[in-house]
């Protein structure tokens, strides 16, 4: 034993955690990496458990059934969850066992999950207190795990035939000392019925939609509160929403396999952080939506690049997170605005506004449009939309016109009544980007008393993209290329401004 310890201490650090890095959104991303699930589990353990003499919970690396309920027990015992093959420990797991030198190892599941051979292996490491929490099926195992937890006012019920819902709620359940009991989607197994009774909890959290836990099952539970969702990603997001979980930092794991989320859930619980799930090819809409809604900027990514690739992680780093912006397409409805050269101002402003909206939303801004079709909100209504929600930025888009056909170019206005410095700064950024992108004549940044920028209480500007009355400008205004460039320029101007706030 002693010899082994020395060898381990002398081993170089093969398993360095990736260095945390800062993102465009001003947050930090840290990855707990690993060549496979065994190594990820070990690196999670290293990150969260520096002292020896604790408990270790050991689960089968390839079968989630018995492991789904393990997180609350692991958290209660201040134990990392390590993974094993059915008949053999991997070398890296052995080394971690030696480092942790646990006072107790708990195997979750019967011999069908982890064989007695593994117990012998652990004992040969000099760790003698090894026991199982077993049962004839996953339901019995979850009931047996629950029986080891102290009394609680609440229980959690999740579908035992799939892993995502149980793992998404694991950090919350663990931290609050609520057991996770498993059920079949359409019937509550008698083992669990008994466990629920024995537990005598006053209320329950049902995780997953009706296809995961039917209303018939839910009706057999004390005061059930359902956290549903259209898919696993939305369920994980709704757990954060409905339970009002802290989102200073969020763990991100693949939703396609269970291992990393399982072993990471105990560390997440220790750090009081929820888990969000992602697809390996893209960041799911539901996940992105909650990131925007809660302005989540700090992530711990669980697993290697094959599970959660860098390009997926990068999609979380939205540069306009936290920005609420009102985009005002000038005129509309009964008010066509300026007309000339076969063009109507109201159409162009709406087109550019919609293009701008999609660019802003893609980077995580909350965008409120004063209009999305050919309607006319009054100027007071437009301003009220921004003031009532406490928007950060108001941008009004217009097209200029003059009785002199030679007048041409681009200008951007601000007003000093509210947020004078910010408004001028925003106008300056937007004007600079517009001139760069459009190559139009630079008419400059100007102050004016236009109603919408005078009465909006936040950084607010009104931009006049070009002259509808000038034949050259009008030719440009007709093209989607020009409109796209204009939207891009305004987007860049807002981004530059927001970065400096
Ligand atoms: Zn106008």
Task: Single out the catalytic residue among 96, 437, 464, 484.
Answer: 464
Distance 331 CA to ligand 1 centre (A): 6
Domain ranges in the chain?
16-33+246-318, 39-134, 150-228, 324-499
pLDDT for res 9: 45
Distance 329 CA to ligand 1 centre (A): 9
CA 241 to chain centre: 11
Q: Do domains 39-134 and 324-499 have the same CATH topology?
A: no
Distance 350 CA to ligand 1 centre (A): 11
Distance 439 CA to ligand 1 centre (A): 21
Q: Is the pLDDT of residue 26 over 80?
A: no
Q: Does the active-site annotation cover 234? A: no
pLDDT for res 52: 86
Distance 343 CA to ligand 1 centre (A): 13
Q: What is the mean pLDDT of the chain?
A: 94
Which of the four pLDDT bands, split at 50, 70 and 90, describes residue 169? very high
What mean pLDDT comes out for the span 304-318?
Answer: 92
Which of 182, 134, 176 is CA-nearest to residue 151? 176
How many residues make up the chain in this entry? 501
Distance 369 CA to ligand 1 centre (A): 16
The secondary element (H helix, E strand) that includes residue 59 is strand 55-60
pLDDT digits (tens, 9 = 90+) for 220-273: 999 999 999 999 999 999 999 999 999 999 999 999 999 999 999 999 999 999
Which CATH architecture is the domain 39-134 placed in?
3-Layer(aba) Sandwich (3.40)
pLDDT digits (tens, 9 = 90+) for 392-428: 999 999 999 999 999 999 999 999 999 999 999 999 9
Which of the four pLDDT bands, split at 50, 70 and 90, describes residue 27? confident
Q: Is the pLDDT of residue 328 over 80?
A: yes
CA 484 to chain centre: 29
Which CATH architecture is the domain 324-499 placed in?
3-Layer(aba) Sandwich (3.40)
Place of tokens 């301003």: 383
Adjacency order of strands within the sheet including 104-108: 81-84, 55-60, 104-108, 130-133
Give yes or no for a contact between 177 and 149, defined as CB atoms under 8 angstroms apart. Answer: yes
Separation CA 240–CA 247 (nearest Å): 8
Q: How many CA atoms lie within 13 A of 132 on its CB side?
A: 19
pLDDT digits (tens, 9 = 90+) for 89-131: 999 999 999 999 999 999 999 999 999 999 999 999 999 999 9
Which of the four pLDDT bands, split at 50, 70 and 90, describes residue 14? very low
Distance 469 CA to ligand 1 centre (A): 12
Distance 228 CA to ligand 1 centre (A): 46
Count CB neighbours of 283 within 10 A: 21
pLDDT for res 19: 78
pLDDT for res 18: 65
């Amino acid at each position: 034993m002693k010899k082994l310890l020395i060898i381990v201490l002398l081993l170089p650090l093969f398993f360095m955690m990736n260095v945390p890095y800062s993102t465009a959104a001003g947050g930090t991303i840290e990855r707990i990496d690993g060549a496979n699930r065994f190594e990820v589990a070990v690196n999670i353990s290293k990150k969260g458990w520096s002292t020896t003499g604790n408990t270790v919970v050991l689960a089968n690396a390839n079968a989630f059934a018995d492991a789904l309920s393990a997180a609350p027990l692991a958290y209660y015992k201040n134990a990392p969850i390590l993974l094993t093959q059915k008949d053999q420990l991997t070398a890296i797991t052995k080394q971690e066992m030696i480092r942790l030198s646990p006072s107790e190892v708990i195997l979750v599941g019967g011999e069908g999950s982890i064989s007695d051979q593994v117990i012998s292996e652990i004992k040969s490491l000099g760790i003698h207190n090894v026991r199982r929490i077993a049962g004839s099926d996953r339901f019995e195992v979850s009931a047996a795990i629950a029986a080891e937890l102290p009394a609680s006012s609440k229980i959690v019920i999740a579908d035992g035939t799939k892993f995502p819902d149980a793992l998404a709620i694991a950090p919350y359940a663990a931290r609050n000392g609520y057991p996770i009991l498993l059920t079949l989607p359409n019937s509550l197994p008698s083992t669990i019925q008994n466990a629920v009774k024995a537990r005598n909890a006053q209320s329950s959290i049902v995780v997953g939609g009706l296809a995961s836990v039917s209303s018939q099952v839910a009706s057999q539970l004390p005061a059930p509160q359902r956290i549903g969702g259209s898919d696993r990603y939305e369920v994980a997001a709704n757990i954060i929403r409905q339970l009002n979980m802290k989102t200073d930092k969020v763990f991100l794991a693949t939703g396609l396999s269970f291992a990393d989320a399982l072993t990471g859930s105990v560390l997440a619980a220790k750090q009081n952080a929820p888990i969000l799930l992602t697809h390996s090819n893209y960041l799911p809409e539901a996940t992105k939506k909650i990131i925007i809604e809660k302005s989540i900027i700090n992530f711990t990514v669980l697993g290697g690049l094959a599970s959660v690739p860098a390009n997926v992680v990068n999609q979380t780093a939205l540069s306009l997170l936290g920005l609420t912006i009102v985009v005002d397409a000038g005129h509309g409805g009964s008010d066509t605005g300026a007309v000339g050269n076969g063009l109507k101002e109201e159409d162009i402003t709406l087109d550019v506004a919609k293009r701008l909206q999609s660019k802003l939303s893609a980077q995580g801004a909350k965008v409120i449009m004063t209009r999305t079709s050919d309607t006319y909100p009054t100027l007071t209504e437009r301003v009220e939309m921004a003031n009532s929600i406490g928007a950060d930025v108001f941008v009004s888009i217009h097209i200029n016109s003059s009785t002199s056909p030679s007048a041409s170019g681009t200008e951007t206005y601000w007003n000093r009544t509210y947020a004078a410095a910010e408004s001028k700064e925003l106008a300056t950024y937007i004007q600079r980007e517009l001139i760069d992108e459009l190559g139009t004549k630079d008419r400059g940044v100007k102050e004016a008393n236009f109603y919408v920028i005078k009465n909006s209480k936040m950084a607010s500007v009104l931009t006049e993209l070009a002259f509808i009355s000038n034949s050259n400008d009008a030719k440009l205004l007709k093209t989607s290329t020009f409109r796209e460039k204009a939207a891009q320029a305004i987007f860049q101007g807002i981004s530059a401004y927001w970065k400096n706030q």
